[in-house]
Structure 1
Amino acid sequence: MRKILYFLAAGLLASSLAEAQWSEQRHAERFEQLGPMLRSPNVYRTASGAPGHLYWQQQADHDIEVELDDEKQAIKGFQTITYYNNSPDPLSYLWIQLDQNERAADSNTPKIQESRINPRMNLRQLEGILWHDLDIGLKINSVKDMQGNDIPVTINKTMMRLDLPQALQPGAQVQFTVDWAFNIHDRMSFIGGRPGYEFFEADGNYLYTLAEWFPKMAVYSDFEGWQNKQFVGRGEFAQVFGDYKVKITVPADHMVGATGVLQNPEEVLSAQELARYRQAQQTYDKPVIIRTQAEAERLEKQRSREKKTWIFHAENVRDFAWTSSRKFIWDAMAVKQGGNDVLAMSYYGKEGNPLWEQYSTRVVAHTIKSYSEKTFDYPYPVAISVEASNGMEYPMICFNYGRPDADGTYSDAVKYGMISVIIHEVGHNYFPMIVNSDERQWSWMDEGLNTFMQFLAEQEWDRDYPSRRGPAHKIAPYMRSEKHLLEPIMTNSENIIQFGPNAYAKPATALNILRETIMGRELFDFAFKTYAQRWMFKHPTPEDFFRTMEDASGVDLDWFWRGWFFGTDAVDISIEHANWYKLDNRTPAQRKAAQREAFDREESSVSRTYNKEDIAQTVVEADPATRDFYNSYDRFTVTPEDETAYKNFMASLSAKEKELLNSGMNFYELHFKNIGGLVMPLILQFNYTDGTSEIERIPAEIWRLNEQEVTKVFAKKKEVASIVLDPYRETADIDESNNYWPRQFTPSRFELFKSSGGARGVSTGDNPMKRARSRR
């Protein structure tokens, strides 16, 4: 880790020094290979971007028994971890992640956040400053070996070190148990976060989303050793693959959804629910409702004192999450994916209807089909979407938002927001749940890649889908930001000011530009699928992605990675000026006439016009002695010498030269200036005087010798009326006003309105559905 950070820092320093000298040297290494900025290839990771012949990774299996206390909002658990050392290194200690401690009383999370007092402060803001004295955070009761002996541990915030009595040798495994408990927090409060509970005051019920809930192994890798960076909230997770057996005990009237396959449906479902569950596994065209809204509403009014234990198995997953509530409606449908049948499912309270019943499971199914086509067949047996007024992903299960108003109506923003978040969170099964990058270091490797895939899936859902991220022009406002508000994509998530644009939107946009403009769909799609398939169920790094995309496509993209991932420059390319030329095939008479016209135009002035009346007679006109040869010589008269020279020139031309001379070709010399600093292709639309147009594409390498300004001549048979740079808005140009020749001016419009004093916090979003219903 230290090495790559050093190289990255060195590379960025070199880049900044080059920027300072840019104006003098005319280029700043934008087209040099990344070289030392990337980790050197080795036997574990090849120069092609593929896993090496000695690639290895660790494995951690978990056997967990957990019980939910719905009265006290607490859980307690006991687990056995089996850890396999597949590395070539002996390990004298192990690191365990205690993510739940991010909310503990001594957490660093509130300490490292800026805070200030505003003239108006609400309770949530003040609680965020005071933090809290709630009794939350993991309580580790014991850590023992399989003989019942205590294993010495050291807890450092969200990490716990196990000091082994003897080093765990390569190829060996170790088993130990952990007994733990914690109080679940209200995630709708100021503490927030991904897991926790939501309390529904109207019916007195809780909806639990249990994630980051158990001690789990940290990653030990060939490129970093132990990934024991603290969890402080934004930077997500580095995880180890393994098999899970989990027994979840909850009130008997609760419905549970979880990572993995339910092992005992006959024990936890009613006969009617079991029959519907079996039916859903064979139904491919629409969801089957397993627990209806009416059934869920009846359960909301009860409080069972009995308990049930739900048993789930999951193979080769990097984490495990679950949800539990008596509020849940449950539906499911089967999805044929490759040679597998996947059960797409949704869990939601009545508050989510009618949106969730109509859309959620269908969106899950669509996401699996869309992502699988572009990467690999979805390998897991289930995919679950849970309505939890949230947005977070885990293997086979994710928590999403999107609730209509109480009357069942909703705005299109709510509808499309819900569909987008389901696509996004289900899509995370591919990145990073299977292509298992380290989110704590490189958020863009899961969020950016997934947001790009989300954009493709959204467009396949609805032709006019209002995608927020993906199209190049939508990143321009972020890239216009002041420099002190920007960081390279290759920045740790905790150090980013504008996290959403940086980790989600900019990398997604960059990939879309690669696909549509730089590489083309065929080359990009093959390379991207190669990366996904090379690294599924493995731990890729940025180098593996960069190298694979080049290796599988045959396209040198180092200039692109430098600009979009390691830099903060923006795209702003200007057509500074244009010159129009034609081959001179005129006769001497035509040439002299044109020269006379040009002279008259050049010499014309207001003074000459007035002087015709004000000066009655000049000296030369009045006195013959002031005249000489040149007063009677007409430079614009064709001479015999002119005619002879013209005939000799024409006789010297070959047939091909005469054809070119008389072709009427137009030559347009365009001068471009790189104002923003980020080199990109020149995409030009030539609009001709006959009403037709054509596109020319010049690769970004046009800038390789001079990154500040370039001149290029275009030969055209037709006369050009106008030229547009980046006509399809492909390059994220932040200033499109200088993309035209001749320049075009369009007015910015402003509105005249009457001010209105709406109450603070009242929604002003448009809901045409509500208006239409009110007119009935």
Structure 2
Amino acid sequence: MKLLTSIFSLLLLIFVGNAAQAQRKGYWQQAVDYTMNIDVDEKAYQYDGDMTLLYTNNSGRSLPKVYFHLYFNAFQPGSMMDHRLQTISDPDGRMMTKAVGTNARESRISLLKPDQIGYQEIKSLTYNGASAKFKVSGTILEVELPAVLADGATGEFKLTWKAQVPEQIRRSGRNSREGVALSMAQWYPKMAHFDDYGWHLDEYVAREFIAPFGNFDVTIHLDKDYVVGASGKLQNPKAVKGYVAAAKPKADKSGKVAWHYKANQIHDFVWAADPKMQVDSAKTDGGVTVYTVFLPTDKAVVENWKTALGLATQFFDYSSSKFGAYPWPTYTIIQGGDGGMEYGTATLITGGRDLKGLVGVIFHEAAHSWYQHLFGINETVDEWFDEGFTSYVEELAFQHLFEKKGASQTNPMIGAYRSYYKLALSGKEEPMSLLADYYKTNYAYSNASYTKGSVLVEQLGYIIGQENLEKTFLQFYELWKFKHPTPNDFKRVAEDVSGINLKWYFNLFLNTTRTIDYAIEATADGKFALRNKGDLAMPVDVWVEYEDGSRELFYIPLREMRGQKPAEGFAIYNNIKRTVLEDWFWTKPTYALPLSKPAKSIIIDPSQRLADIESGDNIWTK
């Protein structure tokens, strides 16, 4: 086993080294190497932390300052997260409570007492052995270096801190509603992300994250009766509870045992713990060990988790074949938190669900292993690139593995399309390119990032062809694994694979709230034309059945594409003549259909992948 582990580590280093050659010329990224020791006081919900952090600067410039995130500080009355809850029109219900004697809702953060709040208090901080000046503002720690961190150099930071775990309100916290004692997400001073755009110093208001890739070596000292689930690979399974049959943990004089974890090339580390946790595991065909760590509250719950574990192993094999091989040796599904949230090689999810709900949330969070954790997408800037692509992966896997559907003849994302149509017609839609924190409503944020984001992916397949979309995913994996790609990087790969220009599509679908709306018009002389009633032009597939029973598929490229998609293998197109017509200008509102004989019926996009907000005029029947 030690030999296999060493071989895997060597292959991972080679893998990562080869991955350093990104498609974008001049690309660079920072690197971190954390070593942490945590001593937990379970009764007080506090812990002491000791960290050594090696931070490598590859930016091409010297750094006089660095920044860390102290996320637990958000869980204090008067924080920006607290104020956001009090002012947004549709706050997250999990974070609110009814005021006594009224129907009003109050921020749960505003009601926290001193022994319930969260905090991370820095006790000491040195840089290369010298004391460094620092100041804390909300959830950001600013560190003034005693000497600059030069380009190409690695600096050593040593931090000690005292922290209190807040009441479980959002993701992190103590005593979740399902009874998990400790859900430890965003629990350590986390180096902020620095890239071509500068430092990313977003105050924590309950949205998501970005961080540099690196290695983690974490030791958690905890009461011997607790069971832990965490990121990475457990180094001492025989010395702790739950992972080896009949193991008898050896506690120190204080009654604690050390849980030692290591993980390479991840950008976030999570753990959760409770004395009642149960551990199960299984291996994928590809050799990944998947763990479940959950509360066995009753027989039905245990059975659901057992079934979900088997499906989770299938998920990793399926997704590896479609989107690139999962590169880490483990993945851990941990009950905790307040819903579902992805972290490096692990997730926190609520576990008291029916089987369908449990499998759905596991598939979604596990899909983030690609779209946010293998590709370090900036969730604070390009939230749709993270959540939308993940929702796309989740839905394909769910239909294939859980519902056991065959290849769809039409749009497998039709549910997301319907949610997007409601958003587009609601008057609340905002551009998908808006920074995640700044949406006016949670409704607009959720539907833009999750549903319109997955519409963008499926509709891209409509534009460039399904086979080209699948090739794009795999080529993107080869170029951008273990790096921080932007949406433009994905667009460039899709353009290279398909030979189609996509500037117009990504610009208009992301940066505006323009909508697609086509119609079939019959003229007085029995001829037919298409009309673009919307303000976002697209290529169009038109299916025609003639009165004599024959059928024809007309494909009309958009001039801006400067190319054409190939014929697609959808079952509905089998044995149908395909005719490619002259391209359509976005400046021209109508397009005449050159029908060669009388038509019985005409349909715009029978695959239903064109996101047309009004489909009632997309069908003509004699």
TM-score (norm 1): 0.67
Match of residue 310 from structure 2: 362
Report if aligned partners of 2:78, 2:110 keep a CA contact under 8 Å in 1: no
* Aligned-partner Cα distance in 1 for 2:83–2:258: 39
Deviation of 1:432 after TM superposition, in Å, equals 0.9
Residue 518 of structure 1, aligned match among 454, 463, 478: 463
The yes-or-no answer on 1:319 pairing with 2:268 is yes
Counterpart Cα distance in 2 of 1:506 and 1:419: 22
The alignment status of 1:729 with 2:587, answered yes or no, reads no
Q: Quick check: 2:419–2:447 contact (8 Å CA) kept in 1?
A: no
Residue in 2 that maps onto 1:607: none
CA distance in 2, matches of 1:122, 1:229: 30
Q: Relative to structure 1, is the Cα distance of residues 721 and 121 closer, same or farther in structure 2, using a 3 angstrom cutoff?
A: same
In structure 2, distance between residues paired with 1:474 and 1:703? 29
Partner of 2:452: 506
Q: CA contact under 8 A between 1:444 and 1:503: conserved in structure 2?
A: yes
> In structure 1, how many angstroms separate the alpha carbons of the residues matched to 2:144 and 2:328?
35
Query: Which aligned pairs between 1:233-244 and structure 2 lie closer than 5 A?
Result: 233-234=206-207, 236-244=208-216
Give 3-state SS (helix, strand or coil) of 2:593's partner: strand
Q: Which of the residues 555, 563, 569 maps onto 1:697? A: 555
- Which residue in the other structure is 1:485 paired with? 428
Residue 244 of structure 2 aligns to a residue whose secondary structure is: helix
Which amino acid in structure 1 is aligned with residue 269 of structure 2? F
Other-structure match for 1:456: 396
Counterpart position of 1:569: 514
Residues 501-650 of structure 1 aligned to structure 2 (within 5 Å): 501-515=447-461, 517-578=462-523
Counterpart position of 1:740: 619
Distance, in Å, in 1 between the alignment partners of 2:382 and 2:543 is 38
Counterpart contact for 1:105–1:134, Cα < 8 Å: no
Report the AA paired with residue 607 of structure 2. Y
Query: Could you give the per-residue CA deviations for residues 539-566 of structure 1, whole angstroms, max 9, x where no partner exists?
Result: 1122212222212321111222133222
User: Secondary structure of the residue that 2:155 maps to in structure 1?
Assistant: strand
Q: Report Cα offsets for 1:569-613 as digits up to 9, x if no partner.
A: 2222111224666xxxxxxxxxxxxxxxxxxxxxxxxxxxxxxxx
Offset, 1:692:
4.9
Paired residue for 1:225? 198
Give the SS at the match of 1:439: coil
Is residue 2:388 matched to residue 1:441?
no
What percentage of aligned pairs have identical amino acids? 26
Within 5 Å, give how 1:112-511 maps onto structure 2: 112-113=84-85, 114=87, 121-123=98-100, 125-128=105-108, 130-135=110-115, 136-145=117-126, 149-187=130-168, 192-199=169-176, 206-221=180-195, 223-234=196-207, 236-269=208-241, 273-274=243-244, 306-337=255-286, 341-351=287-297, 353-388=301-336, 389-404=338-353, 414-461=354-401, 462-464=403-405, 471-472=413-414, 474-480=416-422, 481-482=424-425, 484-496=427-439, 497=441, 498-511=444-457
Partner SS, residue 126 of structure 1? strand
Aligned residues of 1:375 and 1:533 also touching (Cα < 8 A): no
Deviations 1:639-688 (A, max 9, x none): xxxxxxxxxxxxxxxxxxxxxxxxxxxxxx32222222222232222223
Residues 706, 87 of structure 1: alpha-carbon distance in 2 compared, 3 angstrom cutoff: closer
* Distance (whole Å) between structure 2 residues aligned to residue 528 and residue 117 of structure 1: 35
Change over 3 Å in CA distance of 1:117–1:372 after alignment to 2: closer
- The letter for the 2-side match of 1:143 is S
Q: Which moved more, 1:362-371 or 1:89-98?
A: 362-371
2:533 paired with 1:675? yes
Question: 1:62 Cα shift?
Answer: 0.8
Task: Kindly state the Cα deviation for residue 193 of structure 1 after the two structures are TM-superposed.
Answer: 0.8
Number of positions where the alignment pairs a residue of Structure 1 with one of Structure 2: 558
Q: Which amino acid aligns with 1:400?
A: I
Aligned residue for 1:697, secondary structure, equals strand
- SS of 1:729's equivalent? coil
Tell me the distance in 2 between the aligned counterparts of 1:520 and 1:368.
Answer: 25
Displacement of 1:140 in angstroms is 2.1
Equivalent residues of 1:472, 1:731 under 8 A apart: no
Change (3 A) 1:343 1:535: same
Question: What whole-Å deviation, never above 9, does each CA across 1:201-221 have from its counterpart, x for those lacking one?
Answer: 9xxx64322010000111111
Displacement of 1:70: 2.2
More strand by share: 2
Report the Cα distance in structure 1 between the residues aligned to 2:586 and 2:139, rounded to whole angstroms.
Answer: 50
AA paired with 1:247?
T
Q: Distance in 2 between matches of 1:558 and 1:117?
A: 34
Letter aligned with residue 385 of structure 1: I
* 1:229/1:703 CA distance change after superposition, 3 Å: farther
* Larger-gyration structure (1/2): 1
Amino acid at match of 1:398: T
Q: Does the 8 A contact of 1:348 with 1:386 survive in 2?
A: yes
How far is the alpha carbon of 1:105 from its aligned partner? 3.2
TM-score if structure 2 supplies the norm length?
0.83
Q: 1:368-426, CA deviations, whole angstroms, 9 ceiling, x for partnerless residues? A: 1122112221111101112335200101110123525xxxxxxxxx4322211101101
In structure 2, how many angstroms separate the alpha carbons of the residues matched to 1:473 and 1:564? Answer: 19
State the partner residue of 1:17.
none
**Are the structure 2 counterparts of residues 715 and 348 from structure 1 closer, same or farther at C-alpha, using a change threshold of 3 Å?**
same
Contact 2:546 2:599 in 1 (8 A): yes
Note closer, same or farther for the CA distance 1:513–1:267 as it changes in structure 2 (3 Å cut): same
Note the residue ranges of structure 2 that are not aligned, 5 or more in a row.
Answer: 1-19, 92-96, 560-581
For 1:194 and 1:375, the matched residues in 2 are separated by 28
Secondary structure at the aligned position of 2:23 is classed as coil
CA contact (8 A) 1:142 1:179 kept: yes
* Superposition pairs of residues 70-81 of structure 1, within 5 angstroms: 70-81=42-53
Q: What is the CA RMSD across the aligned residues, in angstroms?
A: 3.1
Q: Does structure 1 retain, via aligned residues, the 8 Å contact 2:420–2:451?
A: no
CA contact (8 A) 1:252 1:305 kept: no
Q: Which letter maps to 1:418?
A: L
Question: Partners of 1:67 and 1:387 in 2: how far apart?
Answer: 22
**SS of match in other structure, 1:714:** coil
The 1:439–1:470 alpha-carbon spacing in structure 2 relative to 1, beyond 3 Å, is farther
C-alpha spacing 1:738/1:430, structure 2 compared with 1 (3 Å): same
| Residue type at the aligned position of 1:501 | N
2:56 matches 1:107: no
Q: Does 1:50 align with 2:23?
A: yes
Contact 1:219 1:238 in 2 (8 A): yes
| Contact 1:477–1:734 under 8 Å retained in 2 | no
Greater Cα shift, 224-233 or 251-260: 224-233
**Aligned partners of 1:55 and 1:173: how far apart in 2?**
19
Distance in 2 (CA, whole Å) between partners of 1:245 and 1:348 is: 24
Distance 1:472 1:561, change over 3 A: farther
Paired residues of 1:58 and 1:220 also in contact (CA < 8 A): yes
SS of the residue 1:309 aligns to: strand
Q: Which one-letter code corresponds to 2:445 in the other structure?
A: F
Residue 82 of structure 1 deviates from its aligned partner by: 1.2
